[in-house]
Amino acid sequence: MPINPDAVGLSGDPLRRSWTSKDSLLYALGVGAGVDELAFTTENTKDTPQRALPTMAVVLGGGGVPFDKLGSFNPALMLHGAQGIELLSEIPPEGEIESTGSIGAIWDKGKGAVVEMLSESVDLATGKPLFRTKMTAFMRGEGGFGGERGPSPDWSHPDRKPDHELRYETRMDQPLIYRLSGDRNPLHSDPSFAKMGGFERPILHGLCSYGFTGRALLHTVCGSDPARFKAMDARFSKPVMPGDDLVVSMWVDGDTCLFQTKNQDGDVVIDQGVMRFA
């Protein structure tokens, strides 16, 4: 059967996930952290306790979502549309969570369907919610079933130069490092699979670009303190190729930061960004 619009509201079974200090280090390296960020890339540096990057929520969480109840679709034609995280406490460098998820919405975009997945993760050490995630996926070729198109976002950055701007370089082998944190989709590693999806070569994980952007926000508006990082939402607007530069522009208003990420050619790759911090 094709995509199943009646799956909205269905929940999955709770899913447990544990992680170690090594997992946190590997994730940080996968999103480009290095020798200037030893709190995230080492566990034995003098006077520098290890901490986890806030955006690690995207690889730890999202569990318990019933993808198996969505119907059928071609995974080579699925693109990550948007991602949101809400941090209720700082993510520890090692721990265990239990996640429960549900299908929040399925929208008909004509040429494709947009599916929204929601998940909440509880820290089993404290019994309290640790973070929540929200992701949308664009399923090419699965639209036209007569459903609602969904809301149109109302987002624009202030008509002034960014308050902050930070540029990162990605590596040609960046997706090969990032995939070790869990996302083994061959779209990011197998040239033949990438061609099936319409790309000349494997593309960078959207969540890897999201992690690069989150690092820029963390170090710029949070003073590199993960405890101040509260939420981050953004839409993926164009694929990033390994080796591209990522330029993160930030506009700050109180405890909210609007952001947008472009590549070296000025093309917007992450759009409609909203981040909250303390």
Tell me the per-residue pLDDT of 195-234, one tens digit each, with 9 for 90 and over: 988 899 999 999 999 999 999 999 999 999 999 999 999 9
pLDDT band at 72 (very low <50, low <70, confident <90, very high): confident
pLDDT band at 43 (very low <50, low <70, confident <90, very high): very high
Higher-confidence residue: 139 or 167?
167
For residue 240, pLDDT over 90 is answered with yes
Neighbour order of strands in the sheet with 128-140: 15-19, 95-108, 112-123, 128-140, 78-87, 229-236, 268-277, 256-262, 245-253, 164-169
pLDDT band at 3 (very low <50, low <70, confident <90, very high): confident
Report how far apart, in Å, the C-alpha atoms of 11 and of each of 113, 180, 219, 262 are: 19, 28, 36, 36
CATH of domain 5-146+154-277: 3.10.129.10
3-class DSSP state for residue 183?
coil
Q: Active-site residues: which are they?
A: 183, 188, 203, 206
Domain boundaries, the chain: 5-146+154-277
Query: How confident is the model at residue 73, as a pLDDT?
Result: 81
Average per-residue pLDDT for the chain: 95
Contact indicator for 234, 210 with CB cutoff of 8 Å: yes
